[in-house]
Chain A
């Protein structure tokens, strides 16, 4: 296959990954705002999409360092990038279809590791860096955020006394507009750049850019637009899980969860610790559920999330390794066939999800279209004063 055609396929796969990253992670910023009624679902995803787009233009520091230290940069070829991206896309679609929040970044890293392992061998994968940059932060981030969120929630309820002063819920919902916006901005800054980094790697591998170059403007724009479009598409299944199935969220908890998530995310970024937005926001929701007196946490749902987190990296690596075996040794025919199969699988995931659709209209309902109760812990109670339009 001509290099230009392969490059177009790889860039397309990267933008599709960016799109899945957007709709998979909409819940990180907006699930609690939608659950508490601070924002109407469509307004929430529109606001998040705009801020993700804006965030994509704020910095290219993460893009410049993506995959640095994880695998040997000299081993990266276009087929490896392609296989890694497909592995990540498939894992994102699987977890989305069952409504589980999982880290798109870990899926991407897992995909690149798996494809590199089969193409270039174990020597091209930097195990020490993977433990330091991926595994340890993944274990620490949710625990740290949950502890901070639990303490903040306890103090917040003690000070503001929202149970005795119902009007305070209204003020906390206003606060959620700001805190959710900050999470969206941080998400756009971090996650859009990861795809920019992948496309930049592909351009370097294809000798279109010199090593160490910053992403070109068209890459920044297209990645920003792709993640914003994915965000606006709305990952309603994951939003429902984060907003209702893990614990019942009230407006003060929503504000606290988002604020602590932003605090941990920005502090860790400043300290050079690469953390997953998904792990941080999930930990914050869990912590705020533990922090409110009388609130309950569904440990069954929390356990499923943790299992998904643990599986993300090896599962994406496994899929990418399989694809890598096919495309690395083969020619253009294999890449075209794998691309076609991937498109069919993506369509299959989408059609399968249509059997039990979750949308902006029913994201806050407590049972699915089969009549099954989503959460056996408590029925969510939304404040009746309505949402705040954005």
Chain B
């Protein structure tokens, strides 16, 4: 197969896709967990849960923006 496809490119694509796909999903899941905690467990500190959720969503948005920029600027 190496005669047809650059295996180094293939490995990089697989690695970055894995990190991006899993990373963004995990960040969003942490944000969802924090938001549901803030809503369903009022005895827990609400502000810290919301801060965690906001932080995760911001990192996620930044990752998506960088990804789009990298592709469109190519």
Binding site for B on A (CB under 8 A): 58-59, 61, 128, 131-132, 136-137, 140, 144-145, 147-149, 151-153, 155-156, 159-162, 165, 167-168, 171-172, 175, 182, 189, 252, 255-256, 259-260, 263-264, 266-273
| Inter-subunit contact A149/B26 (CB<8 Å) | no
| Inter-subunit contact B26/A159 (CB<8 Å) | yes
Interface of B, helix, strand, loop or mixed by DSSP: helix
| Inter-subunit contact A271/B12 (CB<8 Å) | yes
A165 neighbours in B (Cβ, 8 Å): 33, 36, 40
| Inter-subunit contact A160/B33 (CB<8 Å) | yes
Q: Across the two chains, which residue of chain B brings its CB closest to A284? A: B21
Q: How close is B54's CB to chain A, nearest CB, in angstroms?
A: 13
Q: What would 7 more interface pairs be, CB under 8 Å, given A156-B25, A161-B33, A165-B33?
A: A144-B17, A151-B22, A155-B26, A159-B30, A167-B40, A171-B32, A263-B20
Q: How close is B70's CB to chain A, nearest CB, in angstroms?
A: 6
Given A58-B72, A148-B21, A159 and B29 contact (CB-CB distance below 8 Å) = yes
| Inter-subunit contact A148/B18 (CB<8 Å) | yes
B9 neighbours in A (Cβ, 8 Å): 271-273
| Inter-subunit contact A270/B74 (CB<8 Å) | yes
In the bound assembly, the distance between CA atoms of A137 and B1 in angstroms comes to 11
| Inter-subunit contact A267/B13 (CB<8 Å) | yes
Task: Pick from B13, B30, B40, B74 the residue with the most CB of A within 10 Å.
Answer: B13
| Inter-subunit contact B36/A132 (CB<8 Å) | no
Q: How close is A214's CB to chain B, nearest CB, in angstroms?
A: 16
| Inter-subunit contact B22/A148 (CB<8 Å) | yes
| Inter-subunit contact A267/B40 (CB<8 Å) | no
B31 neighbours in A (Cβ, 8 Å): 171
B70 neighbours in A (Cβ, 8 Å): 266, 270
Ranked 3 nearest A-B pairs via Cβ: A260-B21, A263-B21, A263-B20
Within 8 A of A (CB), among B45-74: 64, 67-68, 70-72, 74
Q: How close is B34's CB to chain A, nearest CB, in angstroms?
A: 10
Given A155-B25, A182-B64, A255-B28, A263 and B17 contact (CB-CB distance below 8 Å) = yes
Q: How close is A252's CB to chain B, nearest CB, in angstroms?
A: 8
A58 neighbours in B (Cβ, 8 Å): 72
In the bound assembly, the distance between CA atoms of A140 and B16 in angstroms comes to 15
| Inter-subunit contact A266/B21 (CB<8 Å) | no
